A and B are shown apart, each in its own frame.
Chain A
Amino acid sequence: MRELTYNEAALEAIAEEMRRDPRVFYMSTDALPPLMNEFGPSRIKVTPIAEAAMTGMGIGAAGSGFRPIVDWRQVTFCFVAMDQIVNQAAKIHYMFGGQVTFPMLFRASVGGGSQVAAQHSQSPYSMFMNVAGLKMFLPSTPYDMKGLIKTAIRDNNPVISFESGRLMGRKGPVPEGEYTIPFGKADVKREGSDVTVVALAWLVHEALAAAEALAKEGISVEVVDPRTLVPLDTETIRASVRKTGRLVIADEAGPTAGFSAEVAAVVTEDAATFASLKAPVKRVCALQVPIPYSPVLENAVFPDRNRIIAGIREVLQGRRSAAAA
């Protein structure tokens, strides 16, 4: 199968949907050359660096029959548009009694690892998960990216596409034909029986590397990628934990009131899943600090495959080792 990068997969999805539906248009502070070349300035709107205006304009255009894509570029820049996101976009359908729909896709890169310090290294998706009325996803592969973006553009709600900055250039197989990926459907990226690792984006790949390393010791790791954060596929996560009895959650964001906390709650508040737990839930997250610049400090903050391995060993403590069994 042909391979595309994570970023190319996103652009291919957008171009396909723009060809399919003339109501789709794009707003961004920079023109993306492949989109501008194909669709021109009537559908690719290059805005001033004014995220509050462009985000609000997306809402108004959506309420007027269009299907805007608003590209914030980095998630950092959307914070100047929080009124438009939280007070307006998230609530407007509900607050007005559902009389019209507001189909919008917001794009935002997240994560760290490129030494750009605190304002340009952020993973704040749990802040948005907390706001009723927004859907959102965070893909780990080019395949997932393409299918989820296509679904998002066809959805009749505001959807945020969080996109991992670390994965932009990473290649993966993407079939030529048309496909979409439904929201609320996790993907088991690797099956296993001893421990479940629920991971997002870049940490899916780190978890797969950890699983590969531990397989040599006879430890069988299942890697679950939720893909969509809202709606969250609680059933797949719970089913995996009921099977393995152990849970490690790996997230590039800090732990406090985060995605990892939500997954821990989803697992422990369900009686059957709770009863299946053989060890406390373990979170492997970034430290709860603003992200520092120096690579020495940055690496100290973020989790990686080694910390996932350490987390897995921690939840496996007390288990008879595979060798002794």
Chain B
Amino acid sequence: MPMSLSPNLPPDKQREMLRQMLTIRRFEERASADYLAGKIYGVVHSYIGEEAVAVGVCSTLDRGGRIISTHRGHGHCIAKGADLNRMMAELYGRQTGYCKGKGGSMHIADFGIGMLGANGIVAGGISIITGAGLAAQMEGKGGVAVSFFGDGASNAGPFHECLNIAAAWKLPMLYVCENNGWAAQTSAAATHAMGDVAGRAAGYGIPGVVVDGNDVFAVHQAANAAVERARAGDGPTLIECKTYRWRAHTERKGQVDPRDRAEVEAWMRQDPIALLERRLRDQGQLDDAGLRAMEGEVMGAIEAAVAFAEASPHPLPEQATDDVFAA
């Protein structure tokens, strides 16, 4: 795939994209470490390697834009502007977490910023966010909705039902497939008859585009075009971002990873963060000192989030019965 053209983005915005991608990377590194240390419970799915997708897409949305995520959701939360303290507190199972300790890694949501939640069911979020797209259409204020999902979800029924209905109703939707080549332990090659998920768009009469999911500007440009199309009332776009997860499906100790080590290493050489750093340096927008400052700022925010989580109270047992029903 060709490199994206130099984007018409102000330098500050480009540096902000790098800062967000670094924040995701460092957050995930810390989440993995704290999970293995027993401080985070249940299960954690790492987004490392896919940072350019969440940041590239969310950089085209204003605060009113709505997104939905997957079981691998931390990156989307951060890219949409979620509060690191409340995210980390949720992973730590604390009262101050986004879900008051009832959701954990797979269910972080912040409706106030249009983040309609991570979701533990593959393809589970696609219909929900399509309803948010319908809401945006009914509101008539130019809002758009973005469904993030993986290559695995593209083989499940709701993907097909929702692309059809969104196309038929011209809903202001972006369907963003993060094709990392693997649905849990199963390769996409073994489960897809067609190489590109984007090719399926033809079946719904909508555009389907393939982009280098490790090139944040390429993702940004594709998403930007799709947002403009959605706002113009022309309906949804399917964007397939070819990317890779560096780590196994989950962070569980002893997790089997059937992938060829050479395949993993080849993708790690296409690090989306290193790529963006290089381009910012080439354009003279970033130097060693600037990068060190950014790293320091990001690490400070992660450390503060961990400190906030550790200082936060655990839920009370009697809170288990709160919020089953809304008032």
The answer to whether A and B belong to the same complex is yes
CB contact between A95 and one of B103, B112, B322 (< 8 Å): that residue: B103
Question: Is the Cβ of A61 less than 8 Å from the Cβ of B131?
Answer: yes
Contacts of B322 in A (CB 8 A): 98
Segment of A84-92, A106-114, A145-153, A299-307 in the binding face: A84-92
| B85-139 residues at the A interface, CB under 8 angstroms | 97-103, 107, 109-112, 116-117, 119-121, 124, 126-136, 138
Whether a CB of chain B sits under 8 angstroms from the CB of A57 is yes
Contacts of B117 in A (CB 8 A): 92, 96
Smallest CB separation, A65 vs chain B (Å)? 7
Question: Is the Cβ of B109 less than 8 Å from the Cβ of A99?
Answer: yes
A94, closest chain B residue (CB): B323
0/1 interface trace, chain A 140-171, chain B, CB 8 Å (1 if under): 00000000000000001100000000000000
Q: What bracket does the count of chain B residues touching chain A fall in?
A: 35 or more
Residue among A57, A62, A83, A132 with the most chain B CB within 10 A? A57
Question: Is the Cβ of B99 less than 8 Å from the Cβ of A97?
Answer: yes
Contacts of A68 in B (CB 8 A): 131
Smallest CB separation, B249 vs chain A (Å)? 20
Question: Is the Cβ of B103 less than 8 Å from the Cβ of A50?
Answer: no
Question: Is the Cβ of B99 less than 8 Å from the Cβ of A61?
Answer: no
CB contact between A57 and one of B66, B102, B112, B128 (< 8 Å): that residue: B128
Residue among A58, A60, A88, A95 with the most chain B CB within 10 A? A60
Contacts of B129 in A (CB 8 A): 60
Whether a CB of chain B sits under 8 angstroms from the CB of A192 is no
Contacts of A48 in B (CB 8 A): 161, 164-165, 168
B147, closest chain A residue (CB): A60
Whether a CB of chain A sits under 8 angstroms from the CB of B256 is no
A25, closest chain B residue (CB): B138
Contacts of B127 in A (CB 8 A): 52-57, 59-60, 84
Question: Is the Cβ of A53 less than 8 Å from the Cβ of B109?
Answer: no
Contacts of A83 in B (CB 8 A): 121, 124, 158
Q: How far is the CA of A102 from the CA of B93 in the complex (A)?
A: 24
0/1 interface trace, chain B 306-327, chain A, CB 8 Å (1 if under): 0000000000000000111111
0/1 interface trace, chain A 32-60, chain B, CB 8 Å (1 if under): 00000000001001011010111111111
Whether a CB of chain B sits under 8 angstroms from the CB of A135 is yes
| A159-205 residues at the B interface, CB under 8 angstroms | none
Whether a CB of chain B sits under 8 angstroms from the CB of A93 is yes
Question: Is the Cβ of B128 less than 8 Å from the Cβ of A63?
Answer: yes
Q: How far is the CA of A261 from the CA of B95 in the complex (A)?
A: 37
Interface size on A, residues (CB 8 A): 43
Whether a CB of chain A sits under 8 angstroms from the CB of B162 is yes
Whether a CB of chain A sits under 8 angstroms from the CB of B157 is yes
Contacts of B135 in A (CB 8 A): 60-61, 64-66
A56, closest chain B residue (CB): B127
Whether a CB of chain B sits under 8 angstroms from the CB of A100 is yes
A84, closest chain B residue (CB): B127
Question: Is the Cβ of B131 less than 8 Å from the Cβ of A64?
Answer: yes
Whether a CB of chain B sits under 8 angstroms from the CB of A101 is yes
Q: How far is the CA of A92 from the CA of B102 in the complex (A)?
A: 11
Q: How far is the CA of A135 from the CA of B109 in the complex (A)?
A: 23
A-to-B contact residues, CB < 8 Å: 25, 42, 45, 47-48, 50, 52-66, 68, 80, 83-84, 87-88, 92-102, 132-133, 135, 156-157
19 CB-based A-B contacts, threshold 8 Å: A48-B164, A50-B161, A52-B157, A53-B158, A56-B126, A57-B134, A58-B131, A60-B116, A61-B138, A63-B128, A64-B135, A88-B124, A93-B324, A95-B99, A96-B109, A96-B111, A97-B103, A135-B325, A156-B326
B-to-A contact residues, CB < 8 Å: 66, 68, 97-103, 107, 109-112, 116-117, 119-121, 124, 126-136, 138, 145, 157-158, 161-162, 164-165, 168, 322-327
